[in-house]
Structure 1
Amino acid sequence: MSETVTIATLDENGDSFDAYIARPKGEAKSAIVVIQEIFGVNAGIRRKCDKLAEEGYLAIAPDLFWRLTPGVELDPDIEPEFNKALEMMGNFDQDKGVRDIQATINYVRDLTQSGKVGAVGYCLGGRLAFMTAARTDVDATVGYYGVGIDNLLGEKAAIANPVMLHIPTEDGFVDKETQRAMHEGLDEHPKATLYDYEGLDHGFATEFGERRSEDAAELADSRTAAFFEQHLA
Structure 2
Amino acid sequence: MPHWRTLYTPCGAVQAWRAEPEGTPRGAVVVAHEIFGLLPHYQRLCERLAEAGFIALAPAYFDLIEPGLTLATDQAGADRGREVVNQLGLDCGVDVTETAARLLQAEGHTVGVLGFSWGGTVALLANTRLALPAVSYYATRNPPYLDEPSQAPLLFHFGALDVPIPPAIVDLHRQKQPQAQVFVYENADHAFNRDPDPPYQPDAAALAWRRTLDFFAEHLS
Q: If the length of structure 2 is used for normalisation, what is the TM-score?
A: 0.93
Say which of 99, 102, 111 aligns to 1:103: 99
Aligned partners of 1:64, 1:98: CA distance in 2, in Å?
Answer: 10
- Residue 10 to residue 87, structure 1, CA distance change in 2 (3 Å): closer
Q: Which is worse superposed, 177-186 or 52-61?
A: 177-186
Conserved? CA contact 2:147–2:176, under 8 Å:
no
Aligned to 2:7: 7
Aligned partners of 1:68, 1:173: CA distance in 2, in Å?
Answer: 26
CA shift at 1:182, angstroms? 1.6
Say which of 70, 83, 88 aligns to 2:84: 88
CA shift at 1:16, angstroms? 2.1
Runs (4+) off by over 6 Å: none
Aligned partners of 1:229, 1:85: CA distance in 2, in Å?
Answer: 32
Equivalent AA in structure 1 for residue 192 of structure 2: F
The SS at the match of 1:33 is: strand
CA shift at 1:109, angstroms? 1.5
For residues 134-166 of structure 1, give each alpha carbon's deviation from its aligned partner in whole angstroms, at most 9, with x where no partner exists: 01142x2101101121111121x2x22101000
Aligned to 1:46: 43
Conserved? CA contact 1:148–1:178, under 8 Å:
no
Aligned partners of 2:10, 2:3: CA distance in 1, in Å?
Answer: 22
Aligned to 1:121: 115
Conserved? CA contact 1:37–1:121, under 8 Å:
yes
For residues 79-121 of structure 1, give each alpha carbon's deviation from its aligned partner in whole angstroms, at most 9, with x where no partner exists: 4323322322332211111011001101112335xx2001100
Conserved? CA contact 1:144–1:165, under 8 Å:
yes
Identity of aligned residues (%): 29
Aligned partners of 1:35, 1:123: CA distance in 2, in Å?
Answer: 9
Aligned partners of 1:17, 1:89: CA distance in 2, in Å?
Answer: 15
Correspondence 1:194-213 to 2 at 5 A: 194-213=182-201
1:225 lines up with 2:221 in the alignment: no
RMSD (CA atoms): 1.6
Aligned to 1:181: 172
Aligned to 2:128: 134
5+ long unaligned stretches in structure 2:
none
CA shift at 1:207, angstroms? 2.4
